[in-house]
Amino acid sequence: NHHIPVNDVTRLQALVDKKKVVVTEATIRDILHLDDAEAQEVGEGVAYEMHDEGVPTAGIVAEGDVSAVEDVVPTTDEEPSIPS
Predicted confidence pLDDT, tens digits, the chain (84 residues): 555 556 666 777 888 888 888 888 888 778 887 666 554 555 555 444 444 444 444 444 444 444 444 445 555 555 555 665
User: What is the Cβ-side half-sphere exposure of residue 54, based on CA atoms within 13 angstroms?
Assistant: 0
Residue 53 lies in a domain: yes
| pLDDT at position 5 | 59
| pLDDT at position 31 | 81
Residue 29 lies in a domain: yes
| pLDDT at position 7 | 67
| DSSP E strands, the chain | 2-6, 9-16, 19-24
Range of the domain at 37: 2-63
CA 35 to each of CA 3, 26, 57, 61, 66: distance values in angstroms, whole numbers, following the listed order: 22, 9, 20, 17, 24
| pLDDT at position 65 | 45
Residue 72 lies in a domain: no
Number of domains in the chain: 1
